[in-house]
Structure 1
Amino acid sequence: MKKLFLLLASLLSLYVFSDRLDFSDLVKKQSNSVVNIQATRKVYSNRSSMGSFPNDIFREFGFPLPEFEEPRRQPREATSSGSGFLIDNDGFLITNFHVVQDADEVIVRFLDRREFTAEIIGTDELSDIALLKISANSSSPVLIGNSDNVEQGDGVIAIGSPYNYDFSATFGIISSTNRGISSRAGIGDYVPYFQTDAAVNRGNSGGPLFNLDGEVIGINSQIYSRSGGNEGLAFAIPINVALEVVAQLKANGKVSRGYLGVQGQEVSSDLAEALGMDKPIGALVSFVLEGEAAEKAGIRPGDVIVEIDRKEIVYFKDLQHTIGRTQPGSSVRAKIFRDGKYRNINVRVGELPVDEVEQIEEESPKKPTYPLGIRLGELDKEQTNIEIPEDGVRVLQVYFNSPAYGQLFRGDVITQIKHKGKTFKISKISDFSAALESFSKGDKIAVFGVRNSSNIIVSLTVE
């Protein structure tokens, strides 16, 4: 009898599981909600007037440019592809910022071959979110889920246009939650990403990640890959985070984030023991910026922040995620560990300062281009409370997948470059441009600078 019961239980569970793996109805219901996105923009490259041969071909083989030829910046059209989805009946769509970045035209294409020119309502680089709008007579928005309820091991389905194969569906699970990834702008970590093993490739960016009830709980944004294709490591923006961004873009055209004005690190087991803590948990404050919210509230270097409004802070990234989603000007209660005791401190949250990066006019041949993948600005000490060197140039933007990506960050100050025993002092942007003219493609250079009052040295490869 016992064996018969176990057999029946096994058959029942197999039937239920098999039935659960049939996602055809779920996918069919999204056929009018998920879209392919084509974004076009003009890019410029130096070319000679001799046909279509770029100047680099002459240099590659050691031939000088003809004296009568003046290099001209010739425009060409570049296209980026991605995915997106409708979020309401008014024609609003969500996709990734990097899909439509600097786009002159955005075309939205549905599975039934309808095409619309989309208006970019607003973008937010830190969360990699872009809000679009189309004039559609009829729309079928997705069902929105609650990403705060997502747990490790939950089944998920990604739908999008990998490599322009429209409306492709893949299945996987949530491998982990609350993953930290530094933003493309190099400002910090403000999105608690979902990690999934659902097959996500180029072109899936901006597409929805569904739970098994057919509700969107995330937006596919990034992959980790050494080959450029799917390797089972993809990252999605939680839909609750995305909708908070969307609400601000609709209301204000920009996004404001909470800010404490602290720098810090994780609490190791050795540090926890040394400090007298029961377990290694929390964000250890190593530096407090003068005049910012943390200093005004009385937070000091050496404090360990373990809770914000009763939400546990396990890692330093948790502090960034939690405060970043807090409305500037609101008050929170921070539980800290100091001098062997826990105490509560009320903090009025500040606003994350994001420098307005001046756009470089592509048409101007006099503007320098940087083979390291960074955009620079002259040093202005009045714009920061952090002690900075007398000379140098400030990093304003670090481009994704460039040599400097992950090595330099916005706000870093570059003071000198060294290469094979030769030192180049950097006092202004023209010094930086002149120094780069001394290097060749593939050269490894040492970049010296200052980050948050600490000296840094990074090695970069010139492209």
Structure 2
Amino acid sequence: MKKFGNLIISAILGSALTIGSFFLFDLNGIEQVRVQHISGAPVVGAAYTVNDEGEIIPLEFTDVAAEVMPAVVHIKSTQVRKVSARPYRNIPDPFRDFFDDDIMERFFGPYMDPGGQQRGDYLPRVGSGSGVIINSDGFIVTNNHVIDNADDIEVTLHDNRVYKARVIGTDPSTDLALIRIKENGLPFIPFVNSDDVEVGEWVLAVGNPFNLNSTVTAGIVSAKARNINILHDQSAIESFIQTDAAINMGNSGGALVNLQGGLVGISTAIASPTGAYAGYGFAVPSNIVSKVVEDLMEYGSVQRGYLGLMIRSVDGNLAREKNLDITQGVYVDSITAESAAGEAGIKVGDVITEVDGNKVKSSGELLELVGRKRPGDKVNLTIDRYGKSRDFNVVLRSREGSTTLARSEQVEILEVLGIEVEDIDKSTARKLDIPGGVKITSMYPGKLRNNTDIRTGYIITRVDGKQINSRDEFINIMKEKEGGVMFEGVYEDYPGVYYYAFGL
């Protein structure tokens, strides 16, 4: 995966500039300059834009800023990690009491947790970010990375009222999360159609950079459907709105709004070599955000349909390499077994040019359009095959290959545990030399957070000794569990087998 970094944007001013007056010099002397004063009222330039109805309106930020600021909140997340005082935390309970610490350290070495910490006490970690109130009942959208692994979430409103928040659900694939506070009658920002946003359009970014509450910056939309390869989720959807409105640390989860006060995106990332603003910020489009929110509210988890393809954007180099007749579109590199697209007749080498009549020029555009769909939804793909255009109707499937939505009892057990999980792919299983398992992609307060020091990225391979091969299998086993439960599994980046015990 390409890394999006090392982006250096610099402006060099090579001449001195004096405002208000100037002097002209030559080698032989000073040239006299006559200054003539003209009486009359000064001319004041004004900038204008066009609203949704096509009416010309002054380019004025104060009204929209005053309207949206009360709906943008400051979020403080606290993670309290308890590092085990015993060096053999990853040894099953029945065996621990047979050996003292000296013997265990002699055989297994000093205890190091997956984060590299040695034995110690509680280690609080505090982070901050922004959030956007999306309805009057206290639902707030933010970035998943703002609240991921948090034991405590505190929300401060624009008027300095402070509330505790609970997690409704998360979606690592888009780096979005939905939280809620117990309050009614709150100001909120309505969603607008992000498809209508145009490059060059003015937008405002509202957030809390560097803990500077209620900060507003202005800029234009610099690009759309930008894929910058920053989300490391297996099924990441990156189709960002790019803007030059200043976005810094702490803006994550904040609002990107148009001049009518509508929410067009959630600020998520910046392009910078230093971690501070260097010219470009990126926001998740509102059409993706609203779909994620609807799913989390209705189902407790995101219901996402998949084509089952490995793809890449077509450019001039790829067109020459593959001898393609077109230079824009999405090239099909490979097709997963029994995938939705494969069943519909899509083949390796096809170039997808349209989705439901919408032209797609890049993989980001394709991922955004399909990412709005659910399992069982139908999409029409227009493809170029050897220079000829063909249409295919595809019935999307879940990551597990189903066309049905997740059942409520599946969501309930994950909520009890406080985790989201996904199947691991075959290459990961081969690398770790395991037959299969499910990976914890995100965590929020629940049984595992409250009773273990398990961390995001842990791959569960066995539950009470029973091999786990898929997400559905894991959920079905956990639904029937009562009392004590033992997880066995591994971390991709740390050696050894880790065991976690807790009660249900």
TM over 0.5: yes
Residues 92-103 of structure 1 aligned to structure 2 (within 5 Å) = 92-103=139-150
Residues 433-444 of structure 1 aligned to structure 2 (within 5 Å) = 433=494
Amino acid in structure 2 at the alignment position of 1:251: E
Aligned to 2:257: 210
2:284 aligned counterpart, secondary structure? strand
1:152 aligned counterpart, secondary structure? coil
Cα separation, 2, equivalents of 1:117 and 1:217 = 27
Aligned to 2:46: 15
Superposed displacement of residue 433, structure 1: 4.6
Aligned to 1:26: 64
1:321 aligned counterpart, secondary structure? helix
1:201 equivalent among 216, 233, 248: 248
- Residues 155 and 256 of structure 1: CA distance in aligned 2, closer, same or farther (over 3 Å): same
Residues 156-235 of structure 1 aligned to structure 2 (within 5 Å) = 156-182=203-229, 184-235=231-282
- Residues 434 and 86 of structure 1: CA distance in aligned 2, closer, same or farther (over 3 Å): closer
1:106 counterpart = 2:153: yes
Amino acid in structure 2 at the alignment position of 1:28: A
Superposed displacement of residue 132, structure 1: 1.5
> Contact (CA 8 Å) 1:197, 1:232: kept in 2 or not?
yes
Amino acid in structure 2 at the alignment position of 1:321: E
Cα separation, 2, equivalents of 1:284 and 1:430 = 33
1:279 equivalent among 316, 326, 336: 326
Superposed displacement of residue 77, structure 1: 1.7
Please, which moves more after superposition, 91-100 or 384-393?
Answer: 384-393
Cα separation, 1, equivalents of 2:428 and 2:394 = 24
Superposed displacement of residue 73, structure 1: 3.5
1:80 aligned counterpart, secondary structure? strand
Aligned to 2:73: 35
> Contact (CA 8 Å) 1:307, 1:313: kept in 2 or not?
yes
1:201 aligned counterpart, secondary structure? coil
Structure 1 moving runs of 4+ over 6 Å: 385-388
Aligned to 1:306: 353
Aligned to 2:384: 337
Cα separation, 2, equivalents of 1:311 and 1:164 = 41
Larger radius of gyration: 2
Aligned to 1:352: 399
1:32 aligned counterpart, secondary structure? helix
- Residues 31 and 328 of structure 1: CA distance in aligned 2, closer, same or farther (over 3 Å): same
Cα separation, 1, equivalents of 2:493 and 2:259 = 53
Please, which moves more after superposition, 27-36 or 202-211?
Answer: 27-36
Amino acid in structure 1 at the alignment position of 2:166: E
Superposed displacement of residue 24, structure 1: 2.1
- Residues 433 and 344 of structure 1: CA distance in aligned 2, closer, same or farther (over 3 Å): closer
Residues 234-313 of structure 1 aligned to structure 2 (within 5 Å) = 234-269=281-316, 271-272=318-319, 277-313=324-360
Aligned to 2:29: none
Aligned to 1:459: none
Aligned to 1:392: 433
Superposed displacement of residue 22, structure 1: 3.8
2:203 aligned counterpart, secondary structure? strand
1:170-201 C-alpha deviation (Å, 9 max, x unpaired): 11111111111336343244131111111111
1:83 counterpart = 2:130: yes
Cα separation, 1, equivalents of 2:84 and 2:427 = 39
> Contact (CA 8 Å) 1:218, 1:239: kept in 2 or not?
yes
Cα separation, 1, equivalents of 2:390 and 2:332 = 15
Superposed displacement of residue 26, structure 1: 2.0
1:277-309 C-alpha deviation (Å, 9 max, x unpaired): 543122222211111112211222122222221
Q: Which has the higher contact order (CA 8 A, sep 6+)?
A: 2
Superposed displacement of residue 310, structure 1: 1.4
1:72 aligned counterpart, secondary structure? coil
- Residues 44 and 386 of structure 1: CA distance in aligned 2, closer, same or farther (over 3 Å): closer
1:316-369 C-alpha deviation (Å, 9 max, x unpaired): 333322222222112222222223322122211112349x9x99xxxxxxxxxx
Cα separation, 2, equivalents of 1:389 and 1:165 = 47
Cα separation, 1, equivalents of 2:161 and 2:312 = 50
Superposed displacement of residue 231, structure 1: 0.6
- Residues 397 and 268 of structure 1: CA distance in aligned 2, closer, same or farther (over 3 Å): farther
How high is the TM-score relative to the length of structure 1?
A: 0.69
Aligned to 1:327: 374
- Residues 142 and 391 of structure 1: CA distance in aligned 2, closer, same or farther (over 3 Å): closer
1:205 aligned counterpart, secondary structure? coil
1:202-234 C-alpha deviation (Å, 9 max, x unpaired): 111111111112222111111121111111111
Cα separation, 2, equivalents of 1:256 and 1:182 = 22
Cα separation, 2, equivalents of 1:80 and 1:321 = 29
Cα separation, 2, equivalents of 1:97 and 1:298 = 36
- Residues 27 and 277 of structure 1: CA distance in aligned 2, closer, same or farther (over 3 Å): same
> Contact (CA 8 Å) 1:91, 1:139: kept in 2 or not?
yes
Amino acid in structure 1 at the alignment position of 2:275: G
1:144 aligned counterpart, secondary structure? coil
Aligned to 1:452: none
Cα separation, 2, equivalents of 1:349 and 1:104 = 36
> Contact (CA 8 Å) 2:144, 2:176: kept in 1 or not?
yes
Unaligned regions of 5+ residues in structure 1, if any? 1-9, 49-63, 66-70, 360-375, 400-408, 412-427, 436-463
Please, which moves more after superposition, 250-259 or 183-192?
Answer: 183-192
> How many residue pairs get matched?
364
Please, which moves more after superposition, 231-240 or 334-343?
Answer: 334-343
1:394-442 C-alpha deviation (Å, 9 max, x unpaired): 894799xxxxxxxxx999xxxxxxxxxxxxxxxx95997559xxxxxxx
1:350 aligned counterpart, secondary structure? coil
2:382 aligned counterpart, secondary structure? strand
> Contact (CA 8 Å) 2:231, 2:238: kept in 1 or not?
no
Superposed displacement of residue 143, structure 1: 3.5
2:260 aligned counterpart, secondary structure? coil
- Residues 47 and 313 of structure 1: CA distance in aligned 2, closer, same or farther (over 3 Å): same
- Residues 107 and 298 of structure 1: CA distance in aligned 2, closer, same or farther (over 3 Å): same
Unaligned regions of 5+ residues in structure 2, if any? 1-41, 50-56, 87-108, 111-117, 402-409, 415-420, 443-456, 460-488, 497-504
